[in-house]
Structure 1
Amino acid sequence: MQDAQLKAAPTAGERYTPGQRLRLILVLGVLIALGPLTVDMYLPALPAIRDDLMTTEAAVQLTLTGTLVGLSVGQLLIGPLSDAVGRRRPLLIGVAVHIVASIGCVLAPDLAALGGMRVLQGLGAAAAAVVAMAVVRDLFVGMAAAKILSRLMLVMGAAPVLAPTLGGFVLALVSWRGVFVVLAVFGVAIMVMAAAMLPETLPQERRRRGGPLGTLRDCSRLLRDRPYVGLILVAGLAMASLFAYVSGSSFVFQQVYGLDEQQYGVVFGLGAVGLIIATQCNVRLLRRFGPAQIMTGALLGGTLSGLGLLLCAFTGFGGLVGLLVPLWLVLAACGLALPNAPALALSRHGEAAGTAAALLGAVQFGVAAAAAPLVGVLGTGATSMAVVIAGGMAAATLVALLVVRPWQVEAAPTDEGTVPH
């Protein structure tokens, strides 16, 4: 096993100088940002798209679901491909698809065309997401990987802060189609940066040569690993809570609480502050606690906060502030759970990092894709959003306790002693 060899020698990432590591984090951060920006930047425009294309709120929310489906399916395709041919080529091709799809969104004449282009956008963004995760696993394991992912989660928190706010400013100048012009330009910038600055991290001797059958064997082995399956489900359910907020917030804040597009962008950004703070606190917490301990504590706290959110939404207690406080705490819990669950899962399977990252990403965005329209089906009020958020956190906690069994994962051989504490 590749992970067993890592005990005898430092990983490639551990040999990086501080400057090289910072440069890597910056490049991976830009890649990680593509998915959240693609998903979130057009959120303030959902009511405008509904009116312009003469459709319903639930139908417009399906364009968000389409993006998440593309992110999910795309990772299943790109992950194994990156294990076979390396990380760079699938990444560059995927970003090119994203650019073309963004231009297609600009030109979309109706909701069906927009939905189709959003699926393609998700497929393209999937390349950036899965390659970034696989590169982390190529270079780091265990707590070192959790620390790098915590830094990247800063981007995952900052991107939702910037995306709706930027989208709101764009909408103040042009129509909703201008949002997709900005995404196309961002895709071009990512392609140039990745081509110039991201090295190939998967050498020829570590590439998978089994073809489709080999990929199926890898997937079968991964799915027989109970803790790995539990960990990716935990990550998916936590992501579902996050995207229940993403999909429902524009209607809740703008229609229920009367905020305009720019005010919504500011409030949405403030909600992500908890996520940002928590991800950076995670780096410090890892000095004293293991990733599984932090993940479990975060999920328990997130479940309690989700129940508080549901109570405030149902009763109207505290108005907008009463809704935002427990919501902020749920996002903070996600900021602690999301770096640690993937780090624990990927540390178990370094020999097939691309496939392991692909299954992780597919489950994350697949479950999130189911959560997004569920909010619309239940209604556009605060209670509907709170039900899905609280349910996702509670389900993630149950999976962690019953399937992952974190007291066992913390001592797993593949995560013990692989990196210096």
Structure 2
Amino acid sequence: MSKRRELWLLILLGTLSAFGPLSMDMYLPALPQLQQQLHTSASLTQLSITTCLIGLAVGQIFIGPWSDRVGRKLPTLLGMVGFTAASLLAGLATNVWWLIFLRAVQGVAGAAGLVTSRAIATDLFSGKKLTQFYALLMGVNGIFPVIAPIIGGFVLTFTTWRGIFYILAVVGIILLISVWLGLPETHPNQTSAPEKPLSILQMLLRDRIFMGYTLVTGLVSGGLFAYISGSSFMLQNIFGLSSQGFSLVYALNGLGIVVMSQLAGYLATHFNEYRVLQGGVIIALIGALALFATLFIPHNLVLVLIPLFLIVSMVGIVSTVAASLAMQHAHANAGSGSALLGLTQNIIGGILSPFVGLMGQNSYLPMAVLILLCEIAALAVYQRRLARLRY
């Protein structure tokens, strides 16, 4: 494959894999405004994040195995159509329940880009080359958490939260055209697939090593989703940041994911990948412990920003290495493996998100506790299922 072609695939697959950040991060600065205009509660507002995450999870579990049979391109095209339509309708929502439903549809449709981007990379690469490509993919993907809230905060200076969904619809149209004209089929129609999709999923679920990778990245991502759900209210309502100030902090944390994912690609070529993965999990746990400790001291913005950066940026290392090792392990069933990776991340995030707002808008105790529990569980899974593979 030529460097030019590889670069094009990197940009396209990176953008397709960013439907999670695109679907959530752009409108995070608008959550307080959305809550006021739709006359609803913080928990119901955060439920719109939960339903999108669940939609992303459910969509992947169907689309992934389907792409193993019919190829990657058709599911991706149909997903772009659905995402564009759901985004347009979400911008017209007049009550929170209609918005919550459309967010679920948006998640299901956007799942196509998430699951097929990982599967396409696995079709084309293997070994440490796959880890390096995943690192680059995460770098492109990570740009969107950096720019999405900035764009969202900027849009709010001259329009309302509805304008954000109209921008997402335009993004959907651009990606639809790009996939149609510029994405090759890397997995032709598998009409003679020997096993049913459910059997393949069950096999992967029983695979301790594959599920070890999957649970580690899912739990570390669960901490990220707790941060996504609670950081807007925490930093704006408790620490007094403006929507633009919050967008800047959120962007810097997203930049941390980009930098650390590139570092993961470098480290994976020079050191044992399992030790790189373990190091990322341990640093994330240190950040979670530090954030929890800030609950017991007077509020200080700097002292919460440092642990938040550690927690968020380590997602770049953990997700890059764990996803690459998991997909290599499930190479023959890349679509199904990708689906389970995405399902685990999004279902954990979907479960955690509503609990972040349990104590209202003026406490980050639930967010800090949930992040800490996720990081502890991730290290425990690594030690029980994967630590012996280091040697």
In the TM superposition, 1:84-99 aligns within 5 A as 84-99=69-84
Q: Does the 8 Å contact 2:53/2:349 carry over to 1?
A: yes
From 27, 32, 42, the equivalent of 2:17 is 32
Instruction: List per-residue Cα deviations over 1:270-309 (Å, max 9, x = no partner).
Output: 1222212111111211121132211111101111121011
Give the Cα separation in 2 of the matches to 1:207 and 1:25. Answer: 28
Give the Cα separation in 2 of the matches to 1:123 and 1:164. Answer: 22
From 120, 123, 132, the equivalent of 1:135 is 120
Instruction: List per-residue Cα deviations over 1:125-167 (Å, max 9, x = no partner).
Output: 1000000010011111221111111111113322111111111
Q: Which runs of 5 or more structure 2 residues have no equivalent in the other structure?
A: none
- Verify: 1:347 aligned to 2:328, yes or no: yes
SS at match of 1:316: coil
In the TM superposition, 1:53-68 aligns within 5 A as 53-68=38-53
Give the Cα separation in 2 of the matches to 1:378 and 1:299. Answer: 28
What amino acid is aligned across from residue 24 of structure 2 in structure 1? V
What amino acid is aligned across from residue 60 of structure 1 in structure 2? T
Q: Does the 8 Å contact 2:236/2:243 carry over to 1?
A: yes
Q: Which runs of 5 or more structure 1 residues have no equivalent in the other structure?
A: 1-15, 412-421
Per the alignment, residue 2 of structure 2 pairs with 17
Per the alignment, residue 236 of structure 2 pairs with 254
Q: TM-score, normalised by structure 2?
A: 0.96
Q: Does the 8 Å contact 2:216/2:378 carry over to 1?
A: yes
Give the Cα separation in 2 of the matches to 1:284 and 1:363. Answer: 26
Shift of 1:208: 5.8
Give the Cα separation in 2 of the matches to 1:32 and 1:90. Answer: 14
In the TM superposition, 1:18-417 aligns within 5 A as 18-204=3-189, 209-210=193-194, 214-316=196-298, 319-380=300-361, 381-403=363-385, 405-408=386-389, 410=390
Q: 1:281–1:207: structure 2 CA closer, same or farther, 3 Å change rule?
A: farther
Give the Cα separation in 2 of the matches to 1:131 and 1:337. Answer: 20
Give the Cα separation in 1 of the matches to 2:242 and 2:55. Answer: 30
Q: 1:364–1:201: structure 2 CA closer, same or farther, 3 Å change rule?
A: same
Shift of 1:35: 2.2
Say how many residue pairs are matched.
390
Per the alignment, residue 4 of structure 1 pairs with none
Give the Cα separation in 2 of the matches to 1:207 and 1:343. Answer: 27
Instruction: List per-residue Cα deviations over 1:45-71 (Å, max 9, x = no partner).
Output: 111111111110011000000000000
Shift of 1:225: 0.9
Shift of 1:228: 0.6
CA RMSD of aligned residues (A): 1.5
SS at match of 1:352: helix
What amino acid is aligned across from residue 209 of structure 1 in structure 2? A
Q: Does the 8 Å contact 1:67/1:119 carry over to 2?
A: yes
Q: TM-score, normalised by structure 1?
A: 0.90
Give the Cα separation in 1 of the matches to 2:153 and 2:313. Answer: 24
Q: Does the 8 Å contact 2:253/2:313 carry over to 1?
A: no
Q: 1:87–1:385: structure 2 CA closer, same or farther, 3 Å change rule?
A: same
Shift of 1:207: 5.8
Q: 1:301–1:256: structure 2 CA closer, same or farther, 3 Å change rule?
A: same
